[in-house]
Structure 1
Amino acid sequence: MRSLKALGAAAIAAGVVAVAIPLTSFGQASQASEPGTPAGWTKVWSDDFTGAAGSRINTNNWIYDIGHSYPGGAANWGTGEIAYHSDSTQNVYQDGNGNLAIKPIRDSAGNWTSGRIETTRTDFQPPSGGVLRVESRLQMPNVTGAAAQGIWPAFWMLGEPFRGNYWNWPGIGEIDIMENVNGANQVWGTLHCGTSPGGPCNETTGLGGTIQGCPGSTCQSSFHTYAMEWDRSTSPQQIRFYVDNTLYHTVRSDQVDATTWNNATNHGFFIILNVAVGGGWPGNPTSATASGVPMLVDYVAVYSKGGGTTEPTDPPTSGNRDAYSTIQAESYDAQSGTQTEATTDTGGGQDVGYLANGDWLRYDGVNFGSSAAHTFSARVASGAAAGVSGLVEVRLDNVNNAPIGSFSVANTGGWQSWRTVPGSISGVTGTHTVFLRFTSGQPADFVNVNWFTFSR
Structure 2
Amino acid sequence: MRTPLTAVAALAAALALLSPVGASAEPAPEPAAQASLVWSDEFDGPAGSAPDPAHWNHETGDHGWGNNELQNYTDSRANSALDGNGNLVITARREADGSYTSARLTTRGKVQPQYGRIEARIKIPRGQGIWPAFWMLGSGYPDTQWPDAGEIDIMENIGREPHLVHGSLHGPGYSGGNPLTGSYMHPQGWSFADDYHTFAVDWKPGSVTWSVDGNAYQTYTSADTRGNPWVYDQPFFMILNVAVGGNWPGYPDGTTQFPQQMLVDYVRVYSDGSGGGGTGTVTASNGICLDVAGAQTADGTPVQLAHCNGSQAQEWTVAGDGTLRAFDKCLDVAAGGTTAGTSVQLWQCNGTGAQHWVHDSGTQALRNPQSGLCLQPRGRAQTDGTRTEIAHCDGSAVQRWNLP
Which among 16, 24, 30 is matched to residue 18 of structure 1? 24
Structure 2 partner of 1:246? 215
Identity of paired residues, percent?
A: 37
SS of the equivalent of 1:181 reads: coil
CA positional deviation for 1:259? 6.6
Once the two structures are TM-superposed, the CA of residue 317 in structure 1 deviates from its matched residue by 2.9
How far off is 1:282 after superposition? 0.7
Offset of residue 123 of structure 1: 2.4
- Deviation readout 1:103-145 (Å, 9 max, x if unpaired): 100012210000100114252112xxxxx1000001011x3xx
Deviations 1:168-218 (A, max 9, x none): 111111000000001521010001111xxxx2x254331000012256853
1:214-240 alpha-carbon deviations (Å, 9 max, x no partner): 5685311000000000123xxxx2200
Of the three residues 89, 100, 112, the one matched with 1:123 is: 112
Q: Distance in 1 between matches of 2:112 and 2:28?
A: 29
The structural deviation recorded for 1:76 is 1.6
Residue among 259, 262, 266 paired with 1:295: 262
Question: Per the alignment, in what secondary structure is the counterpart of residue 223 of structure 2?
Answer: helix
SS of 2:242's equivalent in the other structure is strand
CA distance in 2, matches of 1:217, 1:285: 21
In structure 2, runs of 5+ residues without a counterpart are 6-21, 288-360, 366-395
CA distance in 2, matches of 1:192, 1:284: 23
Kept in 2: contact 1:238–1:251 (CA 8 A): yes
CA contact under 8 A between 1:183 and 1:220: conserved in structure 2?
Answer: no
**What SS class does the counterpart of residue 300 from structure 1 fall into?**
strand
Structure 1 100/21 Cα, relative in aligned 2: closer, same or farther at 3 Å? Answer: same
Where 1:39 maps in the other structure, the secondary structure is: helix
Q: TM-score scaled to structure 1, two decimals?
A: 0.55
Deviations 1:324-356 (A, max 9, x none): xxxxxxxxxxxxxxxxxxxxxxxxxxxxxxxxx
- Alignment length, in residue pairs? 275
Distance 1:4 1:53, change over 3 A: closer
Segments of 4+ in structure 1 off by > 4 A? 214-217, 429-433
Q: Distance in 2 between matches of 1:314 and 1:286?
A: 61
Residue 260 of structure 2 aligns to a residue in which SS? coil
- In structure 2, relative to structure 1, the CA distance for the partners of 1:91 and 1:432 (3 Å cut) is closer
TM-fit CA distance, 1:19:
2.3
**Cα 1:431/1:57, change in 2 over 3 Å:** closer
Distance in 2, Cα, partners of 1:299 & 1:215: 24
Partner of 2:70: 82
1:190 is aligned with what amino acid? S
C-alpha separation between the residues in 2 aligned to 1:156 and 1:80? 19
- Aligned residue for 2:146? 169
- Supply the RMSD in Å over aligned alpha carbons: 3.2
- What is the match of residue 38 of structure 2? 44
2:51 maps to which of 57, 67, 70:
57
Three-state SS of the structure 2 residue aligned to 1:135 is strand
Aligned match of 1:137? 121
Quote the residue 1:159 is aligned against.
138
1:182 aligns with 2:155: no
TM-score in terms of structure 2 length: 0.62
Alignment match, 2:236: 269
User: What pairs up with 1:228-239 in 2 under 5 angstroms?
Assistant: 228-232=201-205, 237-239=206-208
Q: Which protein has greater RCO, CA pairs closer than 8 Å, 6+ apart?
A: 2
Quick one: which amino acid aligns to residue 64 of structure 1? Answer: H
- Say yes or no: does 1:114 pair with 2:114: no
Match of 2:169 in 1: 191
Distance 1:286 1:217 in 2: 22
* Conserved? CA contact 1:186–1:214, under 8 Å: no
- Conservation of the 8 A alpha-carbon contact between 1:214 and 1:224: no
In the TM superposition, 1:261-410 aligns within 5 A as 261=230, 264-305=231-272, 316-317=285-286, 397=363
Structure-2 separation of matches of 1:173 and 1:89: 30
